[in-house]
Amino acid sequence: MFRLSLFLSFFCSISLFVVSKSFSQTPVWGRFEKEFQSRKKYENALYNVQKFKVQFESPTGRVKTVSGFWDGENVWKARFCPDEVGKWKFTSLCSDTLNAGLHKIQGTFDCVASTNLLDIYKKGSIQHEKGSYFLSHADGTPFFFTACTAWNGTLKSTPDEWETYLTDRAKNHYNVIQFAATQWRGGDKNSEGQVAFEGSGRIKINPAYFKHLDKKIEEINRHGLVAAPVLLWALPVAEGRELSPGYYLPEPEAILLANYMVARYGGNHVIWILGGDGKYVGEYEQRWKTIGRAVFGQEHPGVVAQHPGGQSWIGKEYAGEDWLDIVGYQSGHDKRPETANWITKGPAASGWAKLPPKAFINMEPCYEDISPAIKDKEVRNASYWSVFATPVAGITYGANGIWPWLRPGEEILNHGKTGAVRSWDESIKFPGSIQIGVMHAFFDKYPWSKLKPAAELLTNQQAAPENYISIARSDDHNLIMAYMPLKTNVKIVNNLNVPYKGTWFDPATSQSKEAQLTFSKGLIEASSTKDGDMILVLERK
């Protein structure tokens, strides 16, 4: 009787295990994770295992392949974001075909409908459709990229601080969080004293560091935000360049490191920033094309951006790089007329139409509070000029206390003495910080993804660069928007004599009111009534 009871107990436990393994449920657009136990312990997994991939077959027969990753000791994992409801099958493939714990392991999991109402779980992952100038969700809904720069946030923040920050960003209409994924010139270790990797000619991954980062990225997604890690910080000059892996690592090691992070976080909702603050043309051009092609030249999750140094433009040189979805640029941190000209008339504004369609985004306009001269007005000027300089796609916000994650009394690493910089938690309350979220909410009221620059519509452009009027129009003439940095009368060409209704939008207060329009043959005139920047919206009646 005892033996029968023991057998039944054993049988039930085995049955429960099989049911749990075969019928574990993952919501669509959630993250499925599978752990594998290697039968071997490798001296350095990055080099000893050339390939560890998992093929996932959808309920309708589509096959997607992701790379797995080493997670310490004999533990390996694969993470995957399913995009179809039903039963998925998977099979692992390892270059070490004799490792029975990693090679040809098969299984299934059930993907169920999601009850999460946040956009990334309701509308799907972020993608870039070939031929479009903007990003979208998997269901085709345009995604207005609205990022906050928290380079050191994942490194330094406590769990409570991170929760406070992410809750605020989500509430204020941000949808992307930019951060440094490894140690870098601005943060040489995380709050646990850990680094992502050691070495240069031959590197060694530290899984404990990445387990700390896992939690921060999971929290980003839990708040409905997209994680945008800089995989390889790449600044080739100034203090701390020896801490920039994109600058000092040999190409093979840079590729190994980037591939590791893509494997580890590809199951999350991500936008990859391959390099940060780097130089990607001239003597470094072939290096970065080689790295980009090696990491993203084949099937991969997520879309890919580059984040260049100040006022450098890579659009022409990278026009043929299909792996690059977002041509990022950085306009600089001042309000000089030269900077205004670079944004409104420079290479992005003058060159986008000659290039294959990509999303063109200023990923680092002036940081609020970086100097006494940079307040919310300067942030709005740079941001709206940038959004209208190319087909509308999005913008990034930065504050001088957020990106280094400063607390009272702290200094920024490798940036010299910067004077009194206010803390990250004070900075998220800055007017400009809130107003960039207002920008997102404003654009989402309109079919913004159809807007393209239309400077030819203006008959009275301002001479002073700091007063430049930016204007954009949809191809069907149904929508026109004009951003005016100061109170002025604007004259807009209307050769088709389209009837429009007008609205003034105040980007500082988020208030709207009806605009009084004067129509004459082939022309529309309107005068702003506020001493400050305003947006005129014209909608076809």
**Which CATH number does the domain housing residue 227 bear?**
3.20.20.80
Cα 441 from Cα 434, distance rounded (Å)? 11
pLDDT exceeds cutoff 60 at 10: no
Q: Given this model, what pLDDT does residue 419 score?
A: 64
User: Residue 425 sits in which domain range?
Assistant: 121-450
In a domain, residue 11? The reply is no
- Per-residue model confidence (pLDDT) at position 167: 98
Which pair of tokens denotes residue 497? 């004599």
How far is Cα 171 from Cα 423, in angstroms, rounded to an integer? 20
Q: Same structural domain for residues 415 and 462?
A: no
From the list 291, 180, 327, the residue with the least C-alpha distance to 240 is 180
Residue 1: the pLDDT is 39
- Per residue in 179-236, pLDDT tens? 999 999 999 999 999 999 999 999 999 999 999 999 999 999 999 999 999 999 999 9
Could you tell me if residue 128 is left (phi over 0), alpha (psi between -120 and 50 degrees) or otherwise beta?
beta
Residue 322 lies in a domain: yes
Q: Does 180 share its domain with 320?
A: yes
Higher pLDDT, 440 or 530: 440
For range 360-371, the mean pLDDT: 96
- Looking at the structure, tell me whether residues 102 and 188 fall in a common domain: no
Look over the chain and give the mean of its residue pLDDT values, rounded to a whole number: 94
Inside any domain, residue 2: no
Q: Provide the pairing of β-strand 52-57 with 63-67.
A: antiparallel
Instruction: Using the predicted structure, report yes or no on whether residue 260 has a pLDDT greater than 60.
Output: yes
| Confidence at residue 433, expressed as pLDDT on a 0 to 100 scale | 98
Residue 525's CATH number? 2.60.40.1180
d(CA 541, CA 421): 49
| Number of domains composing the chain | 3
- For residues 383 and 527, membership in a common domain is answered with no
Name the pLDDT band for 6 (thresholds 50, 70, 90): very low
Tokens of 88: 């998925």
Both 311 and 400 in one domain: the answer is: yes
Is residue 202 one of the residues assigned to a domain? yes
**What is the rounded average pLDDT of the residues 407-435?**
90
420 band by pLDDT with thresholds 50, 70 and 90 = confident
User: Could you give the CA distance from residue 187 to residue 236 in angstroms, rounded to a whole number?
Assistant: 16
Q: How much is the pTM?
A: 0.94
Give the residue from 424, 450, 476 where a domain finishes: 450
Convert the pLDDT of each residue in 278-303 to its tens digit.
Answer: 999 999 999 999 999 999 999 999 99
Q: Which residue has the tokens 């990003």?
A: 135
Q: Is residue 18 part of a domain?
A: no
Residue 8 lies in a domain: no
Share of the chain above pLDDT 70, in %: 95
413 in a structural domain: yes
Residues 206 and 221 grouped into a single domain = yes
Same structural domain, 265 and 345 = yes
Last residue of a domain, one of 414, 435, 450: 450
**485 near 463, Cβ under 8 Å?**
no
In the predicted model, is pLDDT for residue 147 greater than 80?
A: yes
pLDDT at 404 over 80: yes
Same-domain pairing of 283 and 401:
yes
User: pLDDT class for 37, splitting at 50, 70, 90?
Assistant: very high
Contact residues for 51 (Cβ-Cβ < 8 A; gap 6+):
67, 93, 94, 95
Same domain, 177 and 253: yes
pLDDT at 421: 87
Instruction: For residue 502, tell me if it sits in a domain.
Output: yes
Per-residue pLDDT of 58-68, as tens digits, reads 999 999 999 99
Residue 13: pLDDT band by 50, 70, 90 thresholds?
very low
Token pair recorded at residue 463: 């001479």
Is-contact 364 398, C-beta < 8 A? yes
From 450, 475, 491, give the residue that closes a domain: 450
Q: Any idea what the CATH number is for the domain that residue 111 is in?
A: 2.60.40.10
443 & 504 share domain: no
Residue 286 shares a structural domain with residue 388: yes
Domain identity same for 336 and 467: no
Tell me which residue of 532, 482, 531, 473 sits closest to 503, measured CA to CA.
Answer: 482
